Amino acid sequence: MTQRLTLNVNGQPHDIAIDDPDMPLLYALRDDLGLNNPRFGCGLGQCGACTVHIDGEPTRSCAMPVSAVGDRAVTTLHGVGSREKPHPLQAAWIEEQVNQCGYCINGWLMEGVALLKRNPRPSEAEAREAFSELICRCGTHNAAVRAVLRAAQQA
């Protein structure tokens, strides 16, 4: 049976119709709202490509049932910054030339933004720990850590 939900995504309410309350939030964000970030990676919540913030906390959207979100605020990479006004970490990411293929970038940026919110001046070890459960096959780990440290200095 189809039910209607209202999701608060990037500060805007979005009404969606769902047939399965266990449908992953990721599917609603991509298929119903047309957001191209987050990305589907492993489908098990292990790689981090699907990371969003729910009430400011990094959450794997592929493992979060859309019905469990309720009225909590969902922030995707689209809600973190824009081309015109990037988040300091997005700007540092470009300055450090972190990207390789870019598939996993969503998770890395979302984890990094959450780290900087919790701790505006993280150490290198704290940045590495924040990224420890993310997967990047291109090996941009060191550049991602440098970007977090650069963003912390510029804040």
* Co-location of 50 and 112 in the same domain: no
Please, how many CA atoms are within 13 Å of residue 145, restricted to the half-sphere of its CB? 14
* Co-location of 100 and 133 in the same domain: yes
CATH value at residue 38 = 3.10.20.30
* Co-location of 58 and 95 in the same domain: no
* Co-location of 11 and 70 in the same domain: yes
- Condensed to tens digits (0 to 9), the pLDDT of residues 48-88 reads 999 999 999 999 999 999 999 999 999 999 999 999 999 99
Phi, psi of 144 (to 5 degrees): -65, -40
- Residues facing 52 on adjacent strands: 59
* Co-location of 115 and 68 in the same domain: no
Q: Which pTM value belongs to this model?
A: 0.94
* Co-location of 11 and 69 in the same domain: yes
